[in-house]
């Protein structure tokens, strides 16, 4: 499959299970993140690998933290999250480092750079035959979950989790928007 065909066929999917990528494949996937566009070579992206029984501990942490911060999950959502994470062989926590010593490059550019690193991860996982999903659930918007993962809010903008595993079934190809609905040609007014 060509690179273009690979990119055009990628879909996010939660329908994953073990086995996950091998250590060599994980290193390949993470190496693609290091190729992300990065104004000023700040390399703001940060990842934490969560594997094995620690994925269940992450689910426990998210449930406990959401309840403590006044946003408890209803039993159905909690069960769905635990079932999904229970099948996941690899979770990557994602954050963007806030470098206060650099005032030249705005924080939003660093977040965009981290987002492009995640897109590279999603594409690399897909190209190796794995399914992946970028989630902003699992306690992303709490104070306690990012902190427990080592991402203090004074130093990091926490951006969620990438979950990677073997596909349970090939995801249906999503209908994509028409390019013309999102792209126009600018022509300057020369008057």
Q: Which domains does the chain possess?
A: 3-181 (3.40.109.10)
Confidence class for position 44, pLDDT limits 50, 70, 90: very high
Q: How many CA atoms lie within 13 A of 170 on its CB side?
A: 4
The proportion of the chain whose per-residue pLDDT surpasses 70, expressed as a percent, equals: 100
Confidence of residue 70 (pLDDT cuts 50, 70, 90): very high
Q: How many CB atoms sit inside 10 A of residue 92's CB?
A: 23
Average the pLDDT over each of 10-14, 84-88, 98-102 and give the range with the smallest value: 98-102
pLDDT over 90 at 101, yes or no: no
- In this structure, what are the phi and psi dihedrals at residue 86, rounded to the nearest 5 degrees? -65, -25
| pLDDT of 1 over the 80 cut | no
Name residue, tokens 């928007």: 177
Lowest mean pLDDT segment, chosen from 30-34, 99-103, 142-146: 99-103
Question: Is the pLDDT assigned to residue 142 strictly greater than 90?
Answer: yes
């Amino acid at each position: 499959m060509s690179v273009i065909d690979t990119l055009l066929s990628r879909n996010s999917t939660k329908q994953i299970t073990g086995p996950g990528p091998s250590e060599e494949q994980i290193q390949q996937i993470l190496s693609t993140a290091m190729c992300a566009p990065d104004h000023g070579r700040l390399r703001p992206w940060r990842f934490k690998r969560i594997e094995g029984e620690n994925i269940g501990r992450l689910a426990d942490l998210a449930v406990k933290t959401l309840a403590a911060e006044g946003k408890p999950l209803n039993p159905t959502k909690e069960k769905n999250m635990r079932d999904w994470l229970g099948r996941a062989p690899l979770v990557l926590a994602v954050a963007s480092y806030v470098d206060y010593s650099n005032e030249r490059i705005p924080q939003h550019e660093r977040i965009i750079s981290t987002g492009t690193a995640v897109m590279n991860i999603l594409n690399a996982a897909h190209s190796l035959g794995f399914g992946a999903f970028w989630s902003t659930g699992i306690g992303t918007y709490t104070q306690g979950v990012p902190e427990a993962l080592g991402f203090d809010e004074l130093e990091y903008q926490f951006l969620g989790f990438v979950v990677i595993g073997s596909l349970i079934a090939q995801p249906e190809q999503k209908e994509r928007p028409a390019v013309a609905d999102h792209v126009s040609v600018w022509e300057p007014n020369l008057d």
